[in-house]
Amino acid sequence: MMSSETAGPGTLVTPQWLEANRSERNVRLIEIAGMNQDDMQAYKAGHVPGAICWKWKEALWDSHMREFPDPDEFARRMGAAGIANDTTVVLYGEGIQFGIYAWWVLTYCGHKDVRLLDGGRYRWEAEGRALEVEIPPPPAAASYEPVSPNPRMRIFKDDILEAIKRKDHVIIDARSPEEFNGERVAAYGGPDVGAVRTGRIPGAQHLFFEDLLDETKSFLPKGQLQAIADTCGLNSDDPVITYCRMSHRSTVVYFVLTQILGTPDVRVYDGSWTEWGNLVGVPIER
């Protein structure tokens, strides 16, 4: 039987919890290989023991459209990974935001028990736990019945335009200060590409996703997170929209608000700046 110890309300688990539960038959541990990890370099160099690896686009997006898999395709992929409807899926990523993004996508697509390893491999190693380089054998396929997605987790560009007009949402931009201020399209460290215009959605508040994490890439204590959220002028019942450049970083804010601080109405604009910064005629603020 799985240990009941978790950090937070159940979706965020500690390395100690994972150490005690990762060998359970009903637990599937997955590392998400994110941007610049096409060869799964970090995973191959050392991963949390027992983890399989998914490349983020192949696993989380539709194969043709900029969209998530439909219920039948989602069920096929989950079953092929040895995941049944009642499997506890534990995720972490390289970079850290990709594990959180995968948590959001699987939850959006309707899987019931998705958890996040706090700090991923960074906290795992910082606490003295070993990584392994051996790649585990592919899991045996499982039966997975199609499930319905959770549409209230997501928002689209037309809804953003209406929210701007009504001024009835708090819009949070999770990008770097340079992106938010209109100095760059993408964060430093990579090519400055992804949209034809720089800037931000009008009225957006800035909350850089890395400010929510400590030196081990774990979430800060709840009190500190609340204080940071308060700087955006959030009241507990405010509807919130989060976005970034491609939506990975915005899911970090989504996770903090919904899973740690209990904010009831939060949606991710997953089109984010790669859509908004390329649209004709939408308002942009700098």
Note the pLDDT of residue 10.
Answer: 87
pTM: 0.95
Residue spans per domain, the chain: 12-149, 154-276
CB burial readout 256-274, b (16+ within 10 A) else e:
bbbbbbebeebbbbbbbbb
Residue 238's pLDDT is: 87
User: How much of the chain is helix, strand and coil, in % rounded to 5?
Assistant: 35, 15, 50
pLDDT for the residue numbered 27: 96
Confirm whether 244 is a catalytic residue. yes
Distance CA 82, CA 60 (A): 16
For the chain, which residues score pLDDT lower than 70? 1-9
Question: Do 12-149 and 154-276 show the same overall fold?
Answer: yes
Catalytic residue among 53, 109, 232, 244: 244
Class of domain 12-149: alpha beta
Cβ atoms of 97 and 252 closer than 8 Å: yes
Chain-centroid distance of CA 48 in Å reads 19
203-226 per-position pLDDT tens digit: 999 999 999 999 999 999 999 999
Q: What is the pLDDT of residue 234?
A: 85
Query: Which of these CATH numbers, 3.40.50.150, 3.40.50.300, 3.10.20.30, 3.40.250.10, describes 154-276?
Result: 3.40.250.10
pLDDT at 5: 38
